[in-house]
Amino acid sequence: MLKIAVLIVAAGKGERTGREKPKQYEWLAGKSLLARSAAAFAGLPAQETTIRVVIGPGQDDLYAAALPGGAPPVAGGARRQDSVRLGLEAIEKSAPDFVLIHDAARPLVSPSVIANVVNALTAGAKGAVPMLAVADTLRRKDGDAWATIPRDNLFRAQTPQGFRFADILKAHREFASRDVTDDVEIAALAGIKVEAVPGEETNLKITTEKDFALAENLLGGESVSAMGYDAHRFCDGDHVWLCGVKVPHTHGMLGHSDADAGLHALTDAILGCIGAGDIGQHFPPSDERWRGAPSWKFLDHAAKLVAEKGGRIVHCDVTLICERPKIGPHREAMRTRIAEILGMDVARVSVKATTTEGMGYTGRQEGLAAQAVATVRL
């Protein structure tokens, strides 16, 4: 039986997604991208399979959280090719027959794509890469004109890219000073013939935020929405806190914490999405630790509970119900603050305001209320 090594490259910063963490450590329908990529290689037809992950500097804690129980990671280099070479050298002593080099940012690679690469290697190929023929019309801009590029013999390369281990290690060492885009290019420099095998459209590389949404749809993840509501009386004071923003007003707001009805309602909505009770269960008003506490801490806690369950908050909508203060001048600051607390795109945060036309306690300006709806992808 063969000895196969799998080298997963996860050393990049992944900044184009706009997320707080590098994309390989973000969650996708309950699992990190890295965990999904690693799990795809379970059941390889080999007597011995070694899976190692190459990570970037300062990513050890992220790695441990994303792949619990994984083998010790390999420290990567400044370029992808440096990271691959260091990874290959880290598994050299295990002397595998073949190595499959895979990008952690391709979490949906299928068993059939992996089998295509392995089967080509076992049939005698020195290298194998999944390829897809280019189907779209390609055009290159030349000044104010567009030139059409023939699609004949144009292909898109995917991973895993498989090689005879000794050959690709030697090639990486020999051409370490050259700048290349992938391991096929290194192989070509070394004269290693690489065969194309069928790739799949679903083996997409996560690069932007929209790619996360597409991948979630392909996985068939579930979206859950829930509602929250809160109300507080006015009291003596000169400002109120609403959606994390200090708003000047003729009165203050009565409450055990800072009485931010907007964040309280949103916190309850998020807790409702994961069946985690309400804000009072997590931060009881009888507990003096929370007297005067800023409500962003409550919202942050709810967001962390969602993350622990492998979920992601994808949208939230807050409606403030009051005659005064006027919300319009502060609306964008409120949206921005909520987005900051939740670590999400401000475009996915909505803050609205309405009145009750003079009716009820809000109409009499005895207090104000807020309702919120949150949507979580699990």
CATH at residue 277: 3.30.1330.50
Write out the two tokens for 119: 């089967």
* CA R_g for the chain: 27
144 and 242 housed in the same domain: no
Q: With DSSP H G I counted as helix, E B as strand and the rest as coil, what are the percentages for the chain, rounded to 5? A: 35, 30, 40
pLDDT confidence band for 17 (50 / 70 / 90): confident
The string of pLDDT tens digits covering residues 125-157 is 999 999 999 988 889 988 888 989 888 889 999
pLDDT digits (tens, 9 = 90+) for 54-83: 999 999 999 999 999 999 999 999 999 999
Contact in structure between 368 and 261 (CB atoms under 8 Å): yes
Is 90 exceeded by the pLDDT of residue 227?
A: yes
> Considering 202, 219, 236, which residue would you say is the last residue of a domain?
219
Q: For residues 181 and 251, state if they share a domain.
A: no
pLDDT digits (tens, 9 = 90+) for 315-355: 999 999 999 999 999 999 999 999 999 988 898 999 999 99
Same domain, 366 and 275: yes
Q: What is the DSSP string of 98-127?
A: EEEEEETT-TT--HHHHHHHHHHHHTT-SE
Same domain? 28 vs 115: yes
Pair (22, 145) in one structural domain: yes
pLDDT > 90? residue 27: no
**211 and 257 assigned to the same domain:** no
Cis peptide bond N-terminal to 294, omega within 30: no
Q: Which domain holds residue 331?
A: 223-377
Contact predicate 33/207, CB 8 Å: no
Element (H, E) at 70: none
| 98 shares its domain with 209 | yes
d(CA 313, CA 257): 24
Indicate if 276 and 163 belong to the same structural domain. no
Q: What is the β-pairing status of strands 31-32 and 161-164? A: unpaired
Judgement on whether residues 155 and 293 belong to the same structural domain of the protein: no
Of the three residues 181, 198, 219, the one that is the final residue of a domain is 219
Same domain, 21 and 159: yes
pLDDT: which is higher, 1 or 12? 12
Report residue 197's pLDDT band, with 50, 70 and 90 as the boundaries: very high
Computed over every residue of the chain, the mean pLDDT equals: 93
Query: Of the residues 171, 199, 219, which one is the last residue of a structural domain?
Result: 219
Predicted local confidence at residue 45, as pLDDT: 77
Q: In terms of domains, do 192 and 281 share one?
A: no
Looking up residue 26, the CATH number of its domain turns out to be 3.90.550.10
Pairing state of beta strands 252-253 and 223-235?
antiparallel
| Pairwise pLDDT comparison (49 vs 367), residue with the higher score | 367
The tokens describing 303, both together, are 């967001």
The verdict on 209 and 237 lying in the same domain is no
| DSSP string of 247-277, one letter each residue | EE-SSEE-SSS---HHHHHHHHHHHHHTT--
Q: Which residue has the higher pLDDT, 17 or 253?
A: 253
Tell me, what's the pLDDT at 311?
A: 84
How many distinct structural domains can be found in the chain?
A: 2
Q: Could you give the CA distance from residue 245 to residue 239 in angstroms, rounded to a whole number?
A: 10
